[in-house]
Amino acid sequence: MKHSGLDDRLDPILVRAAMRLEERMRLAYFRGNLTKYLDRIGLAKYIDEEKLLKGSLLDLQDDAAVAMAYCLRKARKRGYLKEALDELNMAELLQKETRIKTVVPSLKRQPELNKVQLQMVKGENKSSALTEEEKKELLKNFKVIK
């Protein structure tokens, strides 16, 4: 069964799968079960045993990305790419890429530059301009507790 257009989409799928794999590996590394994760998704058999025992995230990320690309290309050639992505828990990568549409505000909604101006507030601080007698008159109703 031939899938039209899938050969052209394989490279973007591989890039997105590698990014997701690195994110998931980072999460598994910080949780302390990176080698178990690689074993569960089936990539541990393609990576050197010494590197797996060492458990270095940077070394394993590179090797796992190369191993995953190898597995996905082989799966595409043999016709079971969907099953291979299911095993990696990345089957949603086969969906066509949907782009987020941004809404551009209409010309009616955009404010005109002439309308938006900074208005300076004019006035005075009335409480500081009060005389001593006016302050006493104002504070007559309040009790000062010391």
Q: Which residue has the higher pLDDT, 54 or 96?
A: 54
Give the whole-angstrom CA distance, residue 145 versus residue 122: 35
Digit-coded pLDDT (tens) for 92-116:
777 766 665 566 666 566 555 555 5
Nearest to 10 by CA among 99, 83, 75: 75
**Is pLDDT above 70 for 82?**
yes
Distances (CA, A) of 121 to 97, 118, 124, 125: 52, 10, 9, 12
DSSP-based three-state secondary structure for 42: coil
pLDDT of res. 65: 92
Side chain identity at 141, as an amino acid letter?
Answer: N
DSSP state for residue 104 in the 8-state scheme: P
Q: Which of 27-31, 38-42, 134-138 has the lowest mean pLDDT?
A: 134-138
